[in-house]
C-alpha cells in the first residue's frame, strides 16, 4: 500500500509507531508531528494514515480485501468510516456509486419495471373480461325516464370526452357535477339502471386492489361507457340528451320540484360548510341541520338562505370573540340562529336580501342543466323559493 506523500520519509515500522503513539494519547499531537517531522496541522494528522485492512471482509464484487480509513483520536476506538474496496472502489453502503453497484441497481429496477408491466397487463385482461361492454344490452333512448334524462344530461355535459367515446372520471374534472352527495347519487342511479357501465379503458388505480380485483371500483375514478343505443347517428343521439330536447309532457313536475329542493338543500349545506370553515368553526351537519334548512326552503330562496347563514355565523363569531361562549358552542349555535332568524323574518315579513353565488362555490352542472335547459327557469332556481307553481308556469306556458 502506498504511503501518503507527507509520510514517505518514514519507514512502515515508523508509521506503525506513529499511529500507536497518536491513538495511545500519551503525547500531544503537535509534539508527535514534531517528533516525526510531518508537515500537517494536528487536527488533520490522522487523515494521512494508511487505511486499515479488514481481514474478515472481502469485496462482494471482486473478492479484494475491504479497507477503511482511520478515525480521528476523538472517535477512537470507534470507527464510523465506511469500508471500501481498494481495487474496484465499492463502498459498503446502499448508495454506493461503483460501476457494478450502479449496473446492479439498474438491472433490479428494470426487472421490477418488467414485473409491474406483466402484472398490469394481467390486470388489464381481467378488467376487459369483467367489464367488456358487449355483455350490457344498450338502452333505447326512448325508454329513458325524466330523472334518467336529467341526470344523464348533466353528467354528459360535465364529463363526456371530446371524442364522445366515454365519460371521464369525475375526479379528473374541474367544477362540480352536483352539490354535496348528489354527485355520487347521480352516478349510482345511472349505474344501477345500466345507463352507464364501467368502461374497460379505466385506469388500473380506479379499481380496488386485492383478491376481488377488479370487481370493486371507485365511482369517482373510473371512466364510464354510455350504454345507449344509437339508432341513426351517435352524435345526434348524444346531442338530444345534451340539449334536453324534452317534450313538455315528459317533464314530471313533482319529480322536478323534488330535484330542485334537493339541489337547494345541498347548495345551502355547501355554503354553510364553506363559511363555517372560513371562520374556523368545525361542524358536522346532522339530521337536525337538514330539517332546519328544508324548513327554511319552504319560505326562502337559496340566495336568501345564504344571507341568513352569513348573518348567523357573523353573530356567533361576535359572541365568541366577546368571550361570551366557547368556540364549540358558537359553532353549534349557528343552526339554531339560522332557524330563529328564519322564523322571525317570516312572521315579521322582513325583506331578506339576496346573496350571490361565491366564486369558490360555482353553480354545479346539474343545477345549470335542470334550471336552464330542462325547466327553463334560469336564475329563479337560486333566487326564488322552490315551488311547483314556478315550474308549472314555465313548463305550461303556451309556445311562443
Residue ranges that bind Zn ion, judged by CB under 5 A:
59, 61-62, 64, 85, 87-88, 90, 96, 98, 101
Shortest Å, Cβ 99 to Zn ion: 8
Q: Between 101 and 190, name the residue whose CB sits nearer to Zn ion.
A: 101
* CA–CA dist 301, 305 (Å, integer): 6
User: What DSSP assignment string belongs to 38-77?
Assistant: --S-GGGGGGGSPPEEEEEEE-TTT-PEEEEPPPPTTTTT
Q: Are 192 and 379 in contact (CB under 8 A)?
A: no
Nearer to Zn ion, 2 or 137 (CB): 2
CB of 50 to Zn ion, least distance (A): 18
Minimal distance, residue 110 CB to Zn ion, in Å: 18
CA terminus-to-terminus distance, the chain: 104
Nearer to Zn ion, 30 or 64 (CB): 64
**Burial (CB count within 10 angstroms: exposed 0-12, middle 13-18, buried 19+), residue 120:** exposed
Q: Which is nearer to Zn ion, 98 or 325 (CB)?
A: 98
Strand positions, DSSP E, 51-201: 52-58, 65-68, 84-85, 139-140, 196-198
Q: How far is the CB of 111 from Zn ion (least distance, A)?
A: 18
Give yes or no for a contact between 84 and 68, defined as CB atoms under 8 angstroms apart: yes
DSSP-derived letter for residue 96 is: -
Cβ nearer to Zn ion, comparing 98 with 204 = 98
Between 104 and 394, CB nearer to Zn ion: 104
- Residue 361, number of CB atoms within 10 A of its CB: 16
- Cβ at position 64, least distance to Zn ion in Å: 5
Cβ distance to Zn ion smaller for residue 87 or 372: 87
Please state, in angstroms and rounded to a whole number, the distance separating the CA atoms of residues 21 and 35. 11
Q: Which three cell numbers stand for residue 149?
A: 334524462
CB of 51 to Zn ion, least distance (A): 14
Query: CB neighbours of 209 closer than 8 A, spacing ≥ 6?
Result: none
Minimum CB–partner distance for residue 91 and Zn ion (Å): 6
Amino acid at each position: 500500500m502506498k504511503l501518503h506523500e507527507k509520510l514517505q520519509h518514514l519507514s512502515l515500522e515508523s508509521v506503525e509507531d506513529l499511529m500507536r503513539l497518536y491513538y495511545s494519547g500519551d503525547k500531544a499531537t503537535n509534539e508527535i508531528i514534531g517528533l516525526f517531522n510531518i508537515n500537517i496541522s494536528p487536527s488533520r494528522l490522522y487523515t494521512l494514515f494508511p487505511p486499515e485492512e479488514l481481514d474478515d471482509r472481502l469485496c462482494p464484487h471482486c473478492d479484494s480485501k475491504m479497507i477503511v480509513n482511520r478515525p480521528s483520536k476523538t472517535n477512537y476506538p470507534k470507527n464510523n468510516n465506511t469500508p471500501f474496496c481498494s481495487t474496484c472502489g465499492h463502498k459498503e453502503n446502499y448508495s454506493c456509486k461503483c460501476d457494478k453497484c450502479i449496473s446492479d441497481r439498474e438491472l433490479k429496477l428494470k426487472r421490477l419495471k418488467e414485473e409491474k408491466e406483466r402484472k398490469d397487463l394481467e390486470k388489464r385482461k381481467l378488467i376487459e373480461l369483467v367489464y367488456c361492454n358487449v355483455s350490457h344490452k344498450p338502452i333505447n333512448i326512448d325508454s329513458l325516464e325524466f330523472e334518467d334524462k336529467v341526470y344523464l344530461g348533466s353528467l354528459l355535459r360535465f364529463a363526456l370526452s371530446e371524442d364522445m367515446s366515454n365519460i371521464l372520471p369525475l375526479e379528473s374534472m374541474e367544477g362540480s357535477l352536483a352539490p354535496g352527495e348528489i354527485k355520487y347519487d347521480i352516478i349510482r342511479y345511472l349505474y344501477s339502471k345500466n345507463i352507464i357501465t364501467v368502461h374497460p379503458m379505466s385506469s388500473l388505480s380506479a379499481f380496488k386492489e386485492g383478491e376481488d380485483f377488479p370487481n370493486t371500483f371507485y365511482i369517482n375514478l373510473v371512466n364510464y361507457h354510455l350504454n345507449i343505443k344509437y339508432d341513426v347517428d351517435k352524435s345526434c343521439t348524444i346531442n338530444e340528451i345534451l340539449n334536453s330536447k324534452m317534450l313538455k309532457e315528459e317533464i314530471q313536475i313533482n319529480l322536478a320540484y323534488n330535484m330542485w329542493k334537493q339541489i337547494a338543500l345541498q347548495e345551502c349545506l355547501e355554503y354553510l360548510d364553506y363559511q363555517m370553515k372560513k371562520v374556523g368553526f368545525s361542524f358536522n351537519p346532522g339530521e337536525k341541520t337538514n330539517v332546519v334548512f328544508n324548513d327554511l326552503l319552504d319560505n326562502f330562496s337559496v340566495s336568501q338562505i345564504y344571507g341568513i347563514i352569513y348573518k348567523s355565523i357573523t353573530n356567533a363569531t361576535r359572541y365568541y370573540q366577546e368571550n361570551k361562549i366557547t368556540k364549540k358552542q358558537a359553532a353549534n349555535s349557528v343552526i339554531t340562529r339560522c332557524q330563529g332568524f328564519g322564523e322571525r323574518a317570516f312572521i315579521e315579513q322582513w325583506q331578506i336580501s339576496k346573496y350571490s353565488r361565491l366564486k369558490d362555490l360555482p353553480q354545479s352542472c346539474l343545477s345549470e342543466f335542470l334550471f336552464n335547459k330542462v325547466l327553463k327557469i334560469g336564475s329563479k332556481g337560486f333566487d326564488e323559493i322552490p315551488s311547483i307553481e314556478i315550474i308549472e308556469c314555465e313548463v305550461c306556458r303556451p309556445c311562443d
